[in-house]
Structure 1
Amino acid sequence: MERERLVRAVSNIFQKVGFRVALVELRGGCFDIVASGRFLLLFVKVSLNIDTVNEEQANDLKRLSRVFNASPLIVGLRTKNGELEDGVVYERFGIYALNPATLYSILQEGELPAIFAERGGFYVRVDGELLRELRERNGYSIGELAAILGVSRKSILNYERGEQAVSIDVAIRMEELFNEPLARPIDVLQANVEAELSSKPETPLEKEVFEKLERLGMGVVKVKKAPFNALSKENEFTILTGIDEKKTRSTVKRAEMVAEVGRIINTDGLFVLERTKTEVISEVPLIPKESLREIRDADELVEMIEELKKRVKERKSNLGLFSSE
């Protein structure tokens, strides 16, 4: 219950500053919120303790961010060692993590944090070129500045080359000495992450569907911890692709979540089932795998999805006319 309240609180922060938001209630999922606004797209994992976000979830989060040119983000309250500090950026498997107060300051006030947590304490990255310029302008040798700051000559050289983080205490002394801000802000909302875009299926049905999609000329990226099983991509088209043996309550719920996500990121969804009648749930078509076999190329697949959605809209429109009479 506490985590659900946190998810709602984080969602409210995004909505308050004008972002469009979709919530995903999937146990063990790699993201809980998709937020779009200010030319930004974010996939957000919310966790009371950020240490509970596992590597598999993080890898999926990175894959989604890579495919959709988005940024991954973790929002939480604590680690195993204590509460997340305001204005401090943490990291989990290469993904930025912060608390709700820091997120609010970034979104509402435009205050990008500069401090990040690592083993041993809090650090910043400084503008190395500016540091060297200030040192030379004020007539300090590398050795003299090292003595004043209480660090080694090698550390000063590394700071100036941008090769070493600076502890908070040293950064404060540095800025007091030169009366200049030197810490580089961390733009957590525009993070570039590396991701392995694997297409390895987990079931025979996934293998069959993935191979068909690839024959249609589409790239396939497997996602394990999301409402969909894969991202199917062809040029500007990306389809959130779900795969199930048969239609169940879980299938319906997942399709509804895919529809919500699709509305935020302007992407279609599609579920391929071993056996089912063709239908549409919340604008997400459910089709039997036999129907997929008949598709000849990616354009035809997109056309089929749009045609099925159009039929449902027309049916709803007709029902609306009849009910008003």
Structure 2
Amino acid sequence: MNRKFVKDVLSLIGDKGVLINGKASDIVVKREGRIFAVIAERNASRIKRGKVGVLNALAKAIDAIPLIVSEKMGSEKLLEDVIYERFDTPVASPETLNKLLSGDKIYIRKHKSAFVVSVNPKELKRKRVESGMSLGALADYLGVSKKSVYDYERGESKVSVDVAVKLVELFGEEVLEEVNFNEFEGVIEPCEPHSPIEAKLLDRTEGVHVPKGNVHVGKEREFVAVVPHGDEELQWFGEASKMIDKKAFAVGFEDLPKDLEGGNVEIARDIEEFVRLLREGKERDGRQRSA
């Protein structure tokens, strides 16, 4: 972890809804109804594929957006209001992260060597037809071919920043779409459980396992089960489970630390007890829904 840079990022975004020092990410933050799992490193090029894979596994497990926050990519300084990528995972500057957390829309993505923007095809066609412009007239205005405009309106092509600016001047921002984080597939490295109890947890619950983080989320996303290696790690996952509004089970522990007693973390001394508690919880929830 680049502690100095993490501190710089935190000083910019503030500490509201923030967890730090997780095993799989540097920062997890929830704002405006969205959760971001963040690795902070001054130069994104220094981050290895394996670490990005762990980040993506955690993000998938807790329904978060994975994000690498950096100032540079190699020798290139990251621009504000642009989403870059590394290992098919989003990368942004600290300033861009701050805007995302404030609910601002980010439209520009750097894909390979080009800066591109997605068009809302239905809105573009509606606005063009309402204005009385033909495909050819719009193509001439934008400086592109008629076929390009046809492709824009079918959602089959992104536009350059210059074309996006002209479209906004003509029709407004409604014809653009913000960067869709679901388009990033993100590498997830295959992982093996680190202990027999983790192996049993995977076998019995068929969920998403996060390597090195020892967190396991059921495929229905109704619980978080952790096999922590210490009280500090358990504390972190207890706080994380509150953030994502899931029940947390500490599997393989005999007792909870005093500061976690009465919270949302429940002890399961072994896998069998965990499965029983999970089943009882589902039955209880089912009765409450039918009442």
TM-score by length of 1: 0.68
Q: What is the rounded CA distance, in whole Å, between the counterparts of 2:67 and 2:148 in structure 1?
A: 31
1:270 aligns with 2:250: yes
- Which amino acid is the alignment partner of residue 211 of structure 2? K
CA shift at 1:184, angstroms? 1.8
Task: Label 1:185 to 1:212 Cα distance change in 2 as closer, same or farther (>3 A).
Answer: closer
Superposition map of 1:1-325 within 5 A: 3-15=2-14, 19-24=16-21, 26=23, 30-108=24-102, 110-176=103-169, 178-181=170-173, 182-186=175-179, 191=182, 201-202=192-193, 206=195, 208-213=196-201, 217-226=204-213, 228=214, 230-233=215-218, 236-242=222-228, 251=230, 254-262=233-241, 264-265=243-244, 267-268=247-248, 270=250, 272=252, 278=254, 280-281=256-257, 283=260, 292=270, 295-296=272-273, 298-300=275-277
Q: What is the rounded CA distance, in whole Å, between the counterparts of 2:65 and 2:162 in structure 1?
A: 31
Q: What is the rounded CA distance, in whole Å, between the counterparts of 2:186 and 2:168 in structure 1?
A: 37
Q: What is the rounded CA distance, in whole Å, between the counterparts of 1:12 and 1:299 in structure 2?
A: 44
Cα pair 1:48 1:78 within 8 Å, conserved: yes
Equivalent residue number for residue 313 of structure 1: none
Cα pair 1:146 1:153 within 8 Å, conserved: yes
Task: Label 1:271 to 1:300 Cα distance change in 2 as closer, same or farther (>3 A).
Answer: closer
Query: Could you list the runs of 5+ residues in structure 1 that have no partner in the other structure?
Result: 244-250, 304-325
Q: What is the rounded CA distance, in whole Å, between the counterparts of 1:43 and 1:255 in structure 2?
A: 18
CA shift at 1:98, angstroms? 1.4
CA shift at 1:43, angstroms? 1.4
Query: Could you list the runs of 5+ residues in structure 2 that have no partner in the other structure?
Result: 281-291
- Which amino acid is the alignment partner of residue 125 of structure 2? R
Q: What is the rounded CA distance, in whole Å, between the counterparts of 2:76 and 2:42 in structure 1?
A: 11
Cα deviation, 1:227-268, whole Å, max 9, x if unaligned, reads x2x41537522212246xxxxxxx565445445544544553
Task: Label 1:195 to 1:138 Cα distance change in 2 as closer, same or farther (>3 A).
Answer: closer
CA shift at 1:302, angstroms? 9.7
Cα pair 1:114 1:183 within 8 Å, conserved: yes
Q: What is the rounded CA distance, in whole Å, between the counterparts of 1:150 and 1:95 in structure 2?
A: 32
Query: Which secondary structure does the structure 2 equivalent of 1:125 belong to?
Result: strand
Count of residues paired in the alignment: 272
Cα pair 1:86 1:99 within 8 Å, conserved: yes
Q: What is the rounded CA distance, in whole Å, between the counterparts of 2:219 and 2:156 in structure 1?
A: 39
Cα pair 1:24 1:33 within 8 Å, conserved: yes
Q: What is the rounded CA distance, in whole Å, between the counterparts of 2:171 and 2:145 in structure 1?
A: 22
Cα pair 1:232 1:241 within 8 Å, conserved: no
Task: Label 1:195 to 1:237 Cα distance change in 2 as closer, same or farther (>3 A).
Answer: farther
Cα pair 2:70 2:93 within 8 Å, conserved: yes
Query: Which secondary structure does the structure 2 equivalent of 1:169 belong to?
Result: helix
